[in-house]
Amino acid sequence: MSRLMMRSVVGLIALVVMTGVAQTGDSQERPKGKSSAPAAVSQGQKDPAAKGDATYVIGPEDVLDIKVWKEPDISRTVPVRPDGKTSLPLLNDVQAAGLEPMQLQAAIAAGLKKYISDPQVTVVVMQINSRRIYVLGEVARPGAFPMLPNMTVLQALSTAGGFSQFAKLSAIYVLRTENGRQVNLPFNYKEVVRGVRPEQNITLKPGDTVVVP
């Protein structure tokens, strides 16, 4: 009886040893796959969408929020006048149109150095009113519209709600001011939508007027 028990114990020990060896070999041979957890983004990686377009250039009728650190009497929200200037305490008129916000910050800070030690200035464009296009004539909603990035004539006409029943689709034109002169740029809607004259579907510029006779 003792021999039988001894054989059972030895067999059990051998079984345990063989099982442990098999498990060890399996863990060593198992290929290293990718973790199921989401990969972390490296610190130097940037979101492509964050690159954006070129820096915005301030224009007439834009509204600016100008803050001077620790100077609440100077900090204020001001519009850019049609002449391209804005007004601030101590500095009076400041040229804003044609400058980027960072350039305007530097100009204001330079002017305030006469009165304030090391002025810290921040300029934020609160309202973009200078980048507008106009659609006039036989359209559903004539008027002024914000100019979207890379906005074309077709997109402007769509923004204006399309044509009235009296619109002359082959005689549309864009009025644009270049070098102080007004130029007339033809747009034949019927041909453009057929792909005959796609070059007429130009990218609009601020102040352009699309006329639908």
The string of pLDDT tens digits covering residues 33-75 is 433 333 333 333 333 333 334 488 999 999 999 999 999 999 9
pLDDT greater than 60 at residue 21: no
What pLDDT, on a 0 to 100 scale, did the predictor assign at position 191? Answer: 96
22 vs 45 pLDDT, higher one: 22
User: For the domain that residue 67 is a member of, what is the CATH number?
Assistant: 3.30.1950.10
Task: Please compute the mean of the pLDDT values over residues 2-24 and round it to a whole number.
Answer: 47
Last residue of a domain, one of 111, 127, 143: 127
Do 206 and 140 fall within a single domain? yes
pLDDT greater than 60 at residue 187: yes
Do 203 and 137 fall within a single domain? yes
Total tally of structural domains belonging to the chain: 2
Do 90 and 109 fall within a single domain? yes
Query: Phi, psi (5° rounding) for residue 74?
Result: -95, -30
Do 141 and 72 fall within a single domain? no
7 vs 29 pLDDT, higher one: 7
Do 169 and 146 fall within a single domain? yes
- What is the residue range of 70's domain? 63-127
In this prediction, residue 4 has a pLDDT band, given cuts at 50, 70 and 90, of very low
Do 137 and 182 fall within a single domain? yes
What pLDDT, on a 0 to 100 scale, did the predictor assign at position 51? Answer: 34
Last residue of a domain, one of 84, 105, 127: 127
In this prediction, residue 3 has a pLDDT band, given cuts at 50, 70 and 90, of low
What pLDDT, on a 0 to 100 scale, did the predictor assign at position 7? Answer: 54
Tell me if 1 is assigned to some domain. Answer: no
Task: Please compute the mean of the pLDDT values over residues 159-188 and round it to a whole number.
Answer: 95
Task: Please compute the mean of the pLDDT values over residues 94-111 and round it to a whole number.
Answer: 96
Residues in the chain, overall count: 213
What pLDDT, on a 0 to 100 scale, did the predictor assign at position 128? Answer: 87
Last residue of a domain, one of 127, 154, 181: 127
CB neighbour list of residue 94: distance below 8 Å, 6 or more residues apart:
85, 86, 87, 88, 104, 107, 108, 111
What pLDDT, on a 0 to 100 scale, did the predictor assign at position 179? Answer: 86
> What proportion of the chain, given as a percentage, has pLDDT over 90?
67
In this prediction, residue 183 has a pLDDT band, given cuts at 50, 70 and 90, of very high
pLDDT greater than 50 at residue 15: no
Amino acid (one-letter) located at 143: G
Tokens read off for 98: 């044609």
What is the C-alpha end-to-end distance of the chain, expressed in Å? Answer: 115
Tell me if 33 is assigned to some domain. Answer: no
Do 208 and 142 fall within a single domain? yes
